[in-house]
Structure 1
Amino acid sequence: MQCPSCQHPNQESRVLESRPTEGGRSIRRRRECLHCKHRFTTYERIEFVPITVIKRDNRRESFDRSKLLRGIIRACEKTGIPHQRLESLVDEIEAQIQQYSEREITTHAIGELVLQRLRDENEVAYVRFASVYRQFTGIKDFVETLDRLKKHPNSSNRESGDWYVADSRQPDSRSSATCGS
Protein backbone atom coordinates (compact mmCIF):
# COMPACT_ATOMS: atom_id res chain seq x y z
CA MET A 1 0.00 0.00 0.00
CA GLN A 2 1.25 3.46 -0.86
CA CYS A 3 0.54 6.90 0.54
CA PRO A 4 -2.27 8.34 -1.63
CA SER A 5 -0.47 11.69 -1.63
CA CYS A 6 3.24 11.02 -2.23
CA GLN A 7 3.10 7.32 -3.27
CA HIS A 8 5.64 6.14 -0.68
CA PRO A 9 5.23 2.50 0.37
CA ASN A 10 3.41 1.24 3.48
CA GLN A 11 6.62 0.94 5.51
CA GLU A 12 6.73 4.72 5.42
CA SER A 13 3.47 5.24 7.37
CA ARG A 14 2.39 4.77 10.95
CA VAL A 15 -0.96 3.88 12.46
CA LEU A 16 -2.42 6.69 14.56
CA GLU A 17 -5.67 5.00 15.54
CA SER A 18 -7.47 1.66 14.99
CA ARG A 19 -11.08 0.86 15.72
CA PRO A 20 -13.54 -1.87 14.76
CA THR A 21 -16.31 -0.91 12.33
CA GLU A 22 -19.25 -2.60 10.63
CA GLY A 23 -20.14 -4.50 13.78
CA GLY A 24 -16.61 -5.83 14.21
CA ARG A 25 -16.36 -7.10 10.62
CA SER A 26 -13.63 -4.65 9.67
CA ILE A 27 -11.00 -2.43 11.23
CA ARG A 28 -10.62 1.24 10.37
CA ARG A 29 -7.06 2.51 10.63
CA ARG A 30 -6.06 6.15 10.61
CA ARG A 31 -2.53 6.46 9.19
CA GLU A 32 0.08 9.13 8.69
CA CYS A 33 2.74 9.03 5.99
CA LEU A 34 6.15 9.51 7.62
CA HIS A 35 7.48 11.08 4.46
CA CYS A 36 4.91 13.79 3.63
CA LYS A 37 2.82 13.78 6.89
CA HIS A 38 -0.41 13.24 4.89
CA ARG A 39 -3.13 11.48 6.93
CA PHE A 40 -5.37 8.87 5.37
CA THR A 41 -7.74 6.06 6.33
CA THR A 42 -7.52 2.37 5.45
CA TYR A 43 -9.92 -0.49 6.14
CA GLU A 44 -9.03 -4.07 6.87
CA ARG A 45 -11.81 -6.56 6.09
CA ILE A 46 -12.13 -10.32 6.19
CA GLU A 47 -12.18 -11.66 2.66
CA PHE A 48 -14.81 -14.33 2.31
CA VAL A 49 -14.36 -17.06 -0.24
CA PRO A 50 -17.33 -16.99 -2.61
CA ILE A 51 -19.96 -19.63 -1.93
CA THR A 52 -21.87 -21.26 -4.77
CA VAL A 53 -25.46 -22.27 -4.12
CA ILE A 54 -26.81 -25.34 -5.90
CA LYS A 55 -30.48 -24.76 -6.74
CA ARG A 56 -33.26 -27.36 -6.98
CA ASP A 57 -32.83 -27.63 -10.74
CA ASN A 58 -29.03 -28.02 -10.31
CA ARG A 59 -28.30 -24.50 -11.53
CA ARG A 60 -25.48 -22.80 -9.67
CA GLU A 61 -25.35 -19.20 -8.54
CA SER A 62 -23.42 -17.11 -6.06
CA PHE A 63 -24.67 -16.97 -2.50
CA ASP A 64 -26.82 -13.87 -2.10
CA ARG A 65 -27.25 -12.73 1.47
CA SER A 66 -30.07 -10.36 0.51
CA LYS A 67 -32.16 -13.26 -0.88
CA LEU A 68 -31.76 -15.12 2.38
CA LEU A 69 -32.71 -12.04 4.38
CA ARG A 70 -35.79 -11.41 2.20
CA GLY A 71 -37.01 -14.98 2.75
CA ILE A 72 -36.57 -14.73 6.50
CA ILE A 73 -38.23 -11.29 6.65
CA ARG A 74 -41.20 -12.66 4.72
CA ALA A 75 -41.57 -15.61 7.10
CA CYS A 76 -41.31 -13.31 10.11
CA GLU A 77 -43.83 -10.67 9.00
CA LYS A 78 -46.08 -9.56 11.87
CA THR A 79 -44.29 -11.76 14.40
CA GLY A 80 -42.74 -8.88 16.28
CA ILE A 81 -39.17 -10.06 15.74
CA PRO A 82 -37.02 -6.93 15.36
CA HIS A 83 -35.28 -6.39 12.02
CA GLN A 84 -31.94 -6.25 13.82
CA ARG A 85 -32.52 -9.80 15.09
CA LEU A 86 -33.31 -10.99 11.56
CA GLU A 87 -30.06 -9.44 10.33
CA SER A 88 -28.30 -11.25 13.15
CA LEU A 89 -29.87 -14.58 12.11
CA VAL A 90 -28.58 -14.07 8.57
CA ASP A 91 -25.13 -13.19 9.96
CA GLU A 92 -25.11 -16.43 11.97
CA ILE A 93 -26.16 -18.52 8.98
CA GLU A 94 -23.64 -16.86 6.66
CA ALA A 95 -20.85 -17.35 9.21
CA GLN A 96 -21.76 -21.03 9.57
CA ILE A 97 -21.75 -21.50 5.78
CA GLN A 98 -18.33 -19.82 5.56
CA GLN A 99 -16.99 -22.36 8.08
CA TYR A 100 -17.76 -25.30 5.77
CA SER A 101 -14.80 -26.70 3.87
CA GLU A 102 -16.93 -27.12 0.74
CA ARG A 103 -17.42 -23.98 -1.36
CA GLU A 104 -20.76 -25.24 -2.69
CA ILE A 105 -23.92 -25.66 -0.66
CA THR A 106 -27.40 -26.79 -1.63
CA THR A 107 -30.45 -24.68 -1.06
CA HIS A 108 -31.70 -27.62 0.99
CA ALA A 109 -28.84 -27.22 3.46
CA ILE A 110 -29.39 -23.46 3.67
CA GLY A 111 -33.11 -24.01 4.29
CA GLU A 112 -32.34 -26.42 7.12
CA LEU A 113 -30.03 -23.86 8.74
CA VAL A 114 -32.82 -21.26 8.55
CA LEU A 115 -35.40 -23.66 10.00
CA GLN A 116 -33.06 -24.59 12.83
CA ARG A 117 -32.88 -20.96 13.90
CA LEU A 118 -36.53 -20.09 13.25
CA ARG A 119 -37.65 -23.07 15.35
CA ASP A 120 -35.96 -21.45 18.33
CA GLU A 121 -37.04 -17.93 17.41
CA ASN A 122 -40.75 -18.13 16.54
CA GLU A 123 -43.11 -21.01 15.78
CA VAL A 124 -45.23 -19.07 13.29
CA ALA A 125 -42.17 -17.95 11.33
CA TYR A 126 -40.89 -21.53 11.38
CA VAL A 127 -44.11 -22.92 9.89
CA ARG A 128 -44.33 -20.13 7.30
CA PHE A 129 -40.77 -20.71 6.13
CA ALA A 130 -41.21 -24.49 6.14
CA SER A 131 -44.37 -24.23 4.04
CA VAL A 132 -42.52 -22.46 1.23
CA TYR A 133 -39.15 -24.18 1.60
CA ARG A 134 -40.60 -27.68 1.76
CA GLN A 135 -43.28 -26.87 -0.82
CA PHE A 136 -46.33 -27.87 1.19
CA THR A 137 -49.10 -29.21 -1.02
CA GLY A 138 -51.82 -29.70 1.54
CA ILE A 139 -52.97 -29.71 5.14
CA LYS A 140 -51.16 -33.00 5.77
CA ASP A 141 -47.81 -31.25 5.28
CA PHE A 142 -48.76 -28.57 7.84
CA VAL A 143 -49.91 -31.19 10.36
CA GLU A 144 -46.67 -33.17 9.98
CA THR A 145 -44.62 -30.02 10.52
CA LEU A 146 -46.68 -29.00 13.55
CA ASP A 147 -46.26 -32.49 15.01
CA ARG A 148 -42.50 -32.26 14.49
CA LEU A 149 -42.51 -28.82 16.12
CA LYS A 150 -44.43 -30.15 19.14
CA LYS A 151 -41.84 -32.90 19.63
CA HIS A 152 -39.03 -30.37 19.88
CA PRO A 153 -39.18 -27.62 22.49
CA ASN A 154 -39.21 -24.12 21.03
CA SER A 155 -38.26 -20.63 22.12
CA SER A 156 -40.82 -20.62 24.92
CA ASN A 157 -38.66 -23.22 26.70
CA ARG A 158 -35.43 -21.24 26.34
CA GLU A 159 -35.62 -19.94 29.88
CA SER A 160 -35.33 -23.46 31.26
CA GLY A 161 -32.28 -24.12 29.08
CA ASP A 162 -34.08 -27.12 27.56
CA TRP A 163 -34.29 -26.34 23.86
CA TYR A 164 -33.49 -28.25 20.74
CA VAL A 165 -30.72 -27.51 18.26
CA ALA A 166 -30.91 -29.51 15.04
CA ASP A 167 -27.87 -30.93 13.30
CA SER A 168 -27.98 -29.24 9.89
CA ARG A 169 -26.01 -32.07 8.30
CA GLN A 170 -28.85 -34.54 8.75
CA PRO A 171 -31.26 -34.51 5.83
CA ASP A 172 -34.90 -33.84 6.42
CA SER A 173 -37.22 -36.85 6.45
CA ARG A 174 -39.18 -35.41 3.51
CA SER A 175 -36.59 -36.68 0.99
CA SER A 176 -34.67 -34.29 -1.20
CA ALA A 177 -36.73 -31.12 -0.92
CA THR A 178 -34.60 -28.04 -1.39
CA CYS A 179 -34.96 -24.38 -0.68
CA GLY A 180 -35.65 -22.28 -3.73
CA SER A 181 -34.04 -19.03 -2.65
Structure 2
Amino acid sequence: MHCPFCGTVETKVIDSRLVAEGEQVRRRRECLKCSERFTTYELAELVMPRIIKQNGVREPFNEAKLRAGLQRALERRPVSVEQIEAMVGQIKHALRATGEREVSSRFVGEAVMEQLKGADKVAYVRFASVYRSFQDLDEFRAEIDKLAASASTSEADQVTQVVAERLQADDTSDDTNNG
Protein backbone atom coordinates (compact mmCIF):
# COMPACT_ATOMS: atom_id res chain seq x y z
CA MET A 1 0.00 0.00 0.00
CA HIS A 2 1.46 3.37 -1.01
CA CYS A 3 1.69 6.03 1.69
CA PRO A 4 -0.67 8.90 0.73
CA PHE A 5 1.77 11.39 2.32
CA CYS A 6 5.20 10.49 0.90
CA GLY A 7 4.37 7.84 -1.73
CA THR A 8 6.60 5.08 -0.43
CA VAL A 9 5.36 1.49 -0.56
CA GLU A 10 6.83 0.65 2.84
CA THR A 11 3.88 0.63 5.27
CA LYS A 12 2.81 -1.65 8.07
CA VAL A 13 -0.59 -2.54 9.46
CA ILE A 14 -0.90 -1.56 13.11
CA ASP A 15 -4.60 -2.42 13.63
CA SER A 16 -7.31 -4.35 11.74
CA ARG A 17 -11.02 -4.50 12.56
CA LEU A 18 -14.17 -5.76 10.89
CA VAL A 19 -16.70 -3.02 10.12
CA ALA A 20 -20.01 -2.72 8.26
CA GLU A 21 -21.35 -5.92 9.82
CA GLY A 22 -18.29 -7.88 8.74
CA GLU A 23 -18.50 -6.76 5.11
CA GLN A 24 -15.34 -4.60 5.30
CA VAL A 25 -11.97 -4.62 7.03
CA ARG A 26 -10.71 -1.33 8.45
CA ARG A 27 -6.92 -1.18 8.65
CA ARG A 28 -4.85 1.42 10.45
CA ARG A 29 -1.48 1.73 8.74
CA GLU A 30 1.79 3.50 9.47
CA CYS A 31 4.35 4.61 6.90
CA LEU A 32 7.82 3.22 7.69
CA LYS A 33 9.51 6.20 5.99
CA CYS A 34 7.61 9.32 7.22
CA SER A 35 5.79 7.71 10.21
CA GLU A 36 2.41 9.17 9.17
CA ARG A 37 -0.66 7.08 9.97
CA PHE A 38 -3.66 6.54 7.72
CA THR A 39 -6.74 4.33 7.47
CA THR A 40 -7.71 2.03 4.62
CA TYR A 41 -10.87 0.02 4.02
CA GLU A 42 -10.90 -3.32 2.27
CA LEU A 43 -13.95 -5.03 0.81
CA ALA A 44 -14.58 -7.87 -1.58
CA GLU A 45 -15.32 -6.86 -5.15
CA LEU A 46 -18.42 -8.80 -6.06
CA VAL A 47 -19.24 -8.79 -9.73
CA MET A 48 -22.87 -9.42 -10.54
CA PRO A 49 -23.71 -11.53 -13.59
CA ARG A 50 -25.30 -9.90 -16.62
CA ILE A 51 -29.00 -10.57 -17.21
CA ILE A 52 -30.19 -12.23 -20.42
CA LYS A 53 -33.68 -10.95 -21.17
CA GLN A 54 -36.30 -13.15 -22.90
CA ASN A 55 -35.68 -11.34 -26.20
CA GLY A 56 -31.96 -12.19 -25.98
CA VAL A 57 -30.78 -8.70 -25.02
CA ARG A 58 -28.07 -8.71 -22.37
CA GLU A 59 -27.95 -5.98 -19.76
CA PRO A 60 -26.10 -5.33 -16.51
CA PHE A 61 -27.80 -6.41 -13.30
CA ASN A 62 -29.83 -3.46 -12.00
CA GLU A 63 -30.32 -3.55 -8.24
CA ALA A 64 -32.64 -0.53 -8.32
CA LYS A 65 -34.93 -2.33 -10.78
CA LEU A 66 -35.01 -5.41 -8.54
CA ARG A 67 -35.81 -3.32 -5.46
CA ALA A 68 -38.54 -1.39 -7.33
CA GLY A 69 -40.20 -4.66 -8.42
CA LEU A 70 -40.20 -5.96 -4.86
CA GLN A 71 -41.55 -2.67 -3.52
CA ARG A 72 -44.32 -2.63 -6.13
CA ALA A 73 -45.39 -6.17 -5.19
CA LEU A 74 -45.20 -5.36 -1.47
CA GLU A 75 -47.03 -2.03 -1.72
CA ARG A 76 -49.42 -1.58 1.25
CA ARG A 77 -48.31 -4.91 2.73
CA PRO A 78 -46.93 -5.35 6.27
CA VAL A 79 -43.31 -5.87 5.19
CA SER A 80 -40.53 -3.59 6.50
CA VAL A 81 -37.83 -1.87 4.49
CA GLU A 82 -35.30 -4.05 6.30
CA GLN A 83 -37.10 -7.19 5.09
CA ILE A 84 -37.07 -5.86 1.52
CA GLU A 85 -33.34 -5.12 1.77
CA ALA A 86 -32.76 -8.63 3.13
CA MET A 87 -34.65 -10.07 0.13
CA VAL A 88 -32.54 -7.98 -2.27
CA GLY A 89 -29.40 -9.26 -0.54
CA GLN A 90 -30.53 -12.89 -0.72
CA ILE A 91 -31.43 -12.60 -4.41
CA LYS A 92 -28.05 -11.00 -5.19
CA HIS A 93 -26.35 -13.78 -3.22
CA ALA A 94 -28.24 -16.40 -5.24
CA LEU A 95 -27.16 -14.73 -8.49
CA ARG A 96 -23.50 -14.62 -7.45
CA ALA A 97 -23.69 -18.20 -6.14
CA THR A 98 -24.43 -19.46 -9.65
CA GLY A 99 -20.83 -18.65 -10.55
CA GLU A 100 -22.06 -17.70 -14.03
CA ARG A 101 -21.17 -14.53 -15.91
CA GLU A 102 -24.72 -14.36 -17.29
CA VAL A 103 -28.07 -15.57 -15.96
CA SER A 104 -31.53 -15.53 -17.49
CA SER A 105 -34.17 -13.05 -16.41
CA ARG A 106 -36.28 -16.13 -15.67
CA PHE A 107 -33.79 -17.14 -12.95
CA VAL A 108 -34.11 -13.67 -11.40
CA GLY A 109 -37.92 -13.77 -11.59
CA GLU A 110 -38.07 -17.18 -9.93
CA ALA A 111 -35.70 -15.99 -7.18
CA VAL A 112 -37.97 -12.98 -6.57
CA MET A 113 -41.04 -15.23 -6.41
CA GLU A 114 -39.31 -17.53 -3.93
CA GLN A 115 -38.47 -14.59 -1.65
CA LEU A 116 -41.99 -13.16 -1.89
CA LYS A 117 -43.56 -16.54 -1.18
CA GLY A 118 -41.69 -16.63 2.13
CA ALA A 119 -42.39 -13.00 3.02
CA ASP A 120 -45.98 -12.28 1.98
CA LYS A 121 -48.35 -14.55 0.07
CA VAL A 122 -50.46 -11.67 -1.27
CA ALA A 123 -47.38 -9.95 -2.69
CA TYR A 124 -46.33 -13.29 -4.17
CA VAL A 125 -49.64 -13.63 -6.06
CA ARG A 126 -49.45 -9.98 -7.13
CA PHE A 127 -45.97 -10.46 -8.57
CA ALA A 128 -46.83 -13.85 -10.10
CA SER A 129 -49.87 -12.36 -11.85
CA VAL A 130 -47.67 -9.86 -13.68
CA TYR A 131 -44.59 -12.07 -14.09
CA ARG A 132 -46.58 -14.99 -15.50
CA SER A 133 -49.08 -12.73 -17.33
CA PHE A 134 -52.27 -14.14 -15.81
CA GLN A 135 -55.16 -13.59 -18.21
CA ASP A 136 -58.17 -14.75 -16.23
CA LEU A 137 -59.53 -15.83 -12.87
CA ASP A 138 -58.67 -19.51 -13.49
CA GLU A 139 -54.96 -18.70 -13.63
CA PHE A 140 -55.23 -16.81 -10.32
CA ARG A 141 -57.10 -19.76 -8.78
CA ALA A 142 -54.50 -22.25 -9.97
CA GLU A 143 -51.70 -20.20 -8.41
CA ILE A 144 -53.65 -19.77 -5.17
CA ASP A 145 -54.36 -23.52 -5.08
CA LYS A 146 -50.63 -24.21 -5.39
CA LEU A 147 -49.99 -21.74 -2.57
CA ALA A 148 -52.76 -23.22 -0.44
CA ALA A 149 -51.16 -26.64 -0.69
CA SER A 150 -48.07 -25.25 1.03
CA ALA A 151 -49.65 -22.53 3.22
CA SER A 152 -52.05 -22.39 6.12
CA THR A 153 -55.76 -22.00 5.39
CA SER A 154 -55.90 -18.45 6.76
CA GLU A 155 -53.09 -17.33 4.44
CA ALA A 156 -54.80 -18.89 1.43
CA ASP A 157 -58.12 -17.26 2.43
CA GLN A 158 -56.38 -13.89 2.74
CA VAL A 159 -54.87 -14.23 -0.74
CA THR A 160 -58.21 -15.33 -2.20
CA GLN A 161 -59.94 -12.32 -0.66
CA VAL A 162 -57.35 -9.86 -2.03
CA VAL A 163 -57.53 -11.41 -5.52
CA ALA A 164 -61.34 -11.29 -5.46
CA GLU A 165 -61.24 -7.61 -4.45
CA ARG A 166 -58.74 -6.87 -7.22
CA LEU A 167 -60.85 -8.64 -9.83
CA GLN A 168 -63.98 -6.86 -8.59
CA ALA A 169 -62.17 -3.52 -8.86
CA ASP A 170 -61.10 -4.42 -12.41
CA ASP A 171 -64.70 -5.33 -13.30
CA THR A 172 -65.94 -2.05 -11.85
CA SER A 173 -63.38 -0.04 -13.83
CA ASP A 174 -64.33 -1.97 -17.00
CA ASP A 175 -68.01 -1.12 -16.41
CA THR A 176 -67.10 2.53 -15.87
CA ASN A 177 -64.95 2.63 -19.00
CA ASN A 178 -67.56 0.85 -21.13
CA GLY A 179 -70.57 2.74 -19.79
**TM-score category, normalised to shorter length:** 0.7 to 0.9
In the alignment, what sits opposite 1:36?
A: 34
RMSD value over aligned CA atoms? 1.8
What is the TM-score normalised by the length of structure 1? 0.78
2:83 alignment partner AA: R
Match of 2:24 among 8, 26, 29: 26
Match of 1:122 among 115, 120, 123: 120
Q: State the Cα distance separating 1:23 from its structure 2 match.
A: 3.1
In the alignment, the residues of structure 2 paired with residue 60 and residue 96 of structure 1 have an alpha-carbon distance, to the nearest angstrom, of 19
In the alignment, the residues of structure 1 paired with residue 23 and residue 64 of structure 2 have an alpha-carbon distance, to the nearest angstrom, of 17
**Is structure 2 residue 106 aligned with structure 1 residue 108?**
yes
In the alignment, the residues of structure 2 paired with residue 83 and residue 61 of structure 1 have an alpha-carbon distance, to the nearest angstrom, of 27
Q: What per-residue deviation string (whole Å, max 9, x for no partner) do you get for residues 36-57 of structure 1?
A: 1212221211112341101121
What is the TM-score normalised by the length of structure 2? 0.79
In the alignment, what sits opposite 1:54?
A: 52
In the alignment, the residues of structure 1 paired with residue 64 and residue 25 of structure 2 have an alpha-carbon distance, to the nearest angstrom, of 23
Q: State the Cα distance separating 1:92 from its structure 2 match.
A: 0.9
In the alignment, the residues of structure 2 paired with residue 109 and residue 47 of structure 1 have an alpha-carbon distance, to the nearest angstrom, of 23
Q: State the Cα distance separating 1:15 from its structure 2 match.
A: 2.1
1:19 alignment partner AA: R
- Report which of the two has the higher share of helix: 2
Highest Rg: 1 or 2?
2
Q: State the Cα distance separating 1:125 from its structure 2 match.
A: 1.1
In the alignment, the residues of structure 1 paired with residue 17 and residue 130 of structure 2 have an alpha-carbon distance, to the nearest angstrom, of 42
The change in CA–CA distance for 1:47 and 1:7 in structure 2 (over 3 A counts) is: same
In the alignment, what sits opposite 1:87?
A: 85
In the alignment, what sits opposite 2:6?
A: 6
In the alignment, what sits opposite 2:133?
A: 135
In the alignment, the residues of structure 2 paired with residue 2 and residue 67 of structure 1 have an alpha-carbon distance, to the nearest angstrom, of 38
Q: Give the conservation status (yes or no) of the 8 Å contact 2:48–2:95.
A: no
1:7 alignment partner AA: G
> Which consecutive unaligned segments of at least 5 residues does structure 1 have?
158-181
1:51 alignment partner AA: P
Q: What per-residue deviation string (whole Å, max 9, x for no partner) do you get for residues 12-36 of structure 1?
A: 2222332323332222222121221
Q: Give the conservation status (yes or no) of the 8 Å contact 2:134–2:140.
A: yes
In the alignment, the residues of structure 2 paired with residue 137 and residue 38 of structure 1 have an alpha-carbon distance, to the nearest angstrom, of 68
In the alignment, what sits opposite 2:61?
A: 63
2:41 alignment partner AA: Y
